[in-house]
Chains A and B, each alone.
Chain A
Amino acid sequence: MIQSLTDEAIQKNGASVGVLNTASSETNRYNYQFGFLDEYAKKEVRRTLLKAVAIPGYQVPYASREMPIARGFGTGGLQITLSLIGSNEILKVIDQGSDDSVNAVNIRKFVATTCPGVTLTRQTAEATLIQSRHRIPEKRLKFGQILVLQVPYPDPLVVVEPSEEKRKIMHGDGDYARLWVKLYEDMVKFKEITISHRYPTRINGFYVIDPSPIPRFDVPKLHQAEALCLFGAGREKKIYAVPPYTDAEPLSFSDIPFRVEDFTDEQGNRRTCQRCGSMTSFLNELIDSKGAKVYQCSDSNYCDSQLGDQK
């Protein structure tokens, strides 16, 4: 999949660079080429991706260009998306699960401007490339789809070791002892593991990754996923991957199982989406106009399609 995507992208992008180079008039002196980034930058990202896929969970350093959106708004994910995208791509962009969140709208608009020909969609099933912040879609992704997650903190060890140089050695040694101690201390202090999101997850039995700020609810979706999951940290300049059909196991003790967010109410019933009635989705807690607490799917496309099915 990556191979065919890259070939496609090189071809498409090459063509438009040719156009740019011949541009000479005063008005288009500063025009932007297809995919915004210069071709060498895209090539570097694609090489980094290949290495990341070859060593699941390993954080591959890359130079990371500045994007026209701010660091922290998804520049790592965007560089991956722009390096892979060809004009025949079908792209979906979500933030907090929603296609209409301001940041998703902004990124989608940017791609539409700089990548003419790309098809934009809200349908999870239809997309070939999905860029997301904080969620993995509810609908199970299929082989051939690529999920690009935006990453603020690529290294799960940062909670126990601030020095990058030392963390790199710890990863190399597979030394996650201090992370285990942190989980154990949580149990002693709070009788609960307090990590809410960005839950440390062991990939292919070796490297532990920060799966990006997805809720614990989404972590099991990485395990033996059919889709290729790519993680881009622009500010921290790292790329890593969970290739299709790879083990992804959240760190947990044999007597204390990993648990996802709990959506049962006081009566012990699973809360449902007040809009579509789903009893299985990740829910956002909202305060309605009367001041009452209500719950709705965080994945807007999932919620819409559930509603559509009922009609």
Chain B
Amino acid sequence: MGYIAIKGGETAIGQAQELLEFLRTHSFTANPLSLDQIQHQLHFLHSRVLSEGGLYHPELASLAIKQSMGDTLEAAFYLRAYRSTRPRLSETPLQGGKNMRLIRRISAAFKDIPGGQMLGPTSDYLQRLFRFELLDESPEQFRKIAKSWLQETPKEALPTTFPKVLESLRQEGLLPSVSECPNRPFDITREPIVFPVTRSAALATMARAETGSILAIAYSNMRGYGDIHPTVAELRVGYLPVQMPHLVTGELIEVGEILMTECEVVAMYDAEPNQNTPTFGLGYGACFGHNEVKAIAMAILDRALQKGMKHSPDHPSEDPEFVLLHIDGIESMGFASHYKLPHYVTFQSDLDRLRSTQNQSR
């Protein structure tokens, strides 16, 4: 047949896939990337994909990055699609960020915090100058760096957990008291989101948001389309234990740990009509992997959305529908791509309307 160019697509699709595979594999050195290289040397890319994919599977996240040739939207998409094939078998008990095995924690609110600031691996103070010596690196150099770092590190044992900065603020009465979470967490992967949504549903949606999208909306609030004016009370990166009841005894046991980033911001206080003493407002952000900018953006938007849910939203970043329905990378990327699909029928229909309307105006 072939009377529409894009028809007869079976062979064309096949060959396009082969060409893509050629693009992925052709190089002068012909060294395939190993999953280990991706997870460690592309630490932040890997973290981003884990978080946007919404499935904590470091091995498959690496495979997704490899398969998608480093496209973050596509890589997260692979994880999401795979997640659809997995049943939810059980729920783990709630965990607080306090139980994290930390690799980094900082506070912008206080110079001295209980337990101390801990910079950890950060690029915050790097001067972004090229290190041209990395143009040609050898595996020996990798080993040398590791060896010297491990030798020089003091063997002193760190405490397993650190107190949260917010705890001291709370003790001083500067924060609203914590009310027990009345409901089970909302699982956005199993229940439809129907507006108005709970804060739990909003947080879950933001936790797997596309980094650029959530940052852009949070930035609009920071710049003036909003007035959260946050202070980072604490930002922590570390490994959070995952617990499950033992199959026989029912006793909680640790089955593993996940790398997470958590951010708590305090914002200028919000006068409560039925509350005598004003307190700071709180915003919370957390996601899989090491993604500090995303966690900060999420915490700011959490605060902004709480404001918008209570009063009516004054800015896009305070509107739950605007924020939550536009930050998912898999959805926005998919819909943008779909415009590449044939639209012959609807376009024919558009032509009919335009010609007819033109005739009317003649």
Contact = CB atoms under 8 A, between A and B. Distances in A.
Interface of A: 30, 32-33, 36-41, 44, 61-68, 70-73, 75, 95-98, 100-103, 105-106, 109, 133-135, 152, 162-165, 168, 190-192, 194-198, 213-217, 235, 237, 261-262, 275, 282-286, 296, 298, 300
Contact of A164 (B195, B330, B349, B357): B195
A103 B228 CA distance: 45
Given A63-B192, A105-B9, A235-B335, A96 B342 contact: yes
Nearest to A71: B334
A66 B83 contact: yes
B360 A191 contact: yes
Given A73-B341, A135-B345, A275-B3, A40 B195 contact: no
Interface residues of B, number: 57
A194 B357 contact: yes
Q: State the majority secondary structure of interface residues on A.
A: loop
Contact of B342 (A32, A44, A103): A103
A242 to B, nearest CB: 19
Interface in B334-361: 334-339, 341-346, 348-353, 356-357, 360-361
A100 B8 contact: yes
Nearest to B197: A165
Contacts of A67: 81, 84
B87 A38 contact: yes
Contact of A73 (B338, B348, B351): B338
B168 interface: no
Nearest to A133: B341
B85 A33 contact: yes
Interface stretch (B123-131, B183-191, B278-286, B295-303): B183-191
Contacts of B195: 163-165, 168
Nearest to B84: A65
Interface string B1-34: 1011011111011000000000000000000000
Contact of A195 (B189, B335, B338, B353): B353
Contacts of B334: 70-73, 75, 235
Given A66-B84, A103-B341, A194-B353, A296 B346 contact: no
B88 interface: yes
Given A165-B196, A298-B345, A100 B7 contact: yes
Contact of A68 (B81, B192, B350): B81
Interface of B: 1, 3-4, 6-10, 12-13, 60, 77, 80-88, 188-196, 321, 325, 330-331, 333-339, 341-346, 348-353, 356-357, 360-361
Contacts, number: 177
A198 to B, nearest CB: 8
**Highest count of chain B CB atoms <10 Å: which of A36, A101, A106:** A101
Nearest to A41: B84
Nearest to A198: B346
Nearest to B81: A68
Given A65-B84, A98-B4, A190-B361, A72 B348 contact: no
A235 B336 CA distance: 12
A212 B193 CA distance: 22
A85 to B, nearest CB: 15
Contacts of A262: 352, 356
Contacts of A194: 353, 357
A196 B331 contact: no
A72 B331 CA distance: 8
Given A66-B330, A100-B8, A284 B85 contact: no
Given A73-B334, A296-B3, A300-B7, 13 more contacts: A40-B190, A61-B193, A66-B84, A66-B330, A68-B81, A72-B335, A102-B9, A134-B343, A152-B338, A191-B357, A192-B353, A261-B349, A282-B345
A192 B13 CA distance: 41
Q: State the majority secondary structure of interface residues on B.
A: helix
Given A72-B334, A102-B9, A196-B353, A298 B341 contact: no
A63 B190 contact: yes
Given A38-B87, A63-B191, A284 B344 contact: yes
A33 B87 CA distance: 12
B213 to A, nearest CB: 14
Nearest to A304: B1
B345 A197 contact: yes
A298 B7 CA distance: 12
A132 to B, nearest CB: 10
Contact of B337 (A65, A70, A192): A70
Nearest to A108: B10
A161 B9 CA distance: 39
A66 B361 contact: no
A98 B335 contact: no
Given A67-B81, A286-B4, A196 B352 contact: yes
B349 A196 contact: yes
Contact of A197 (B9, B88, B325, B349): B349
Nearest to A300: B1
B225 to A, nearest CB: 17
Contacts of A61: 192-194
A286 B334 CA distance: 28
Contact of B348 (A71, A100, A235, A284): A284
Contacts of B83: 65-66
A72 B338 contact: yes
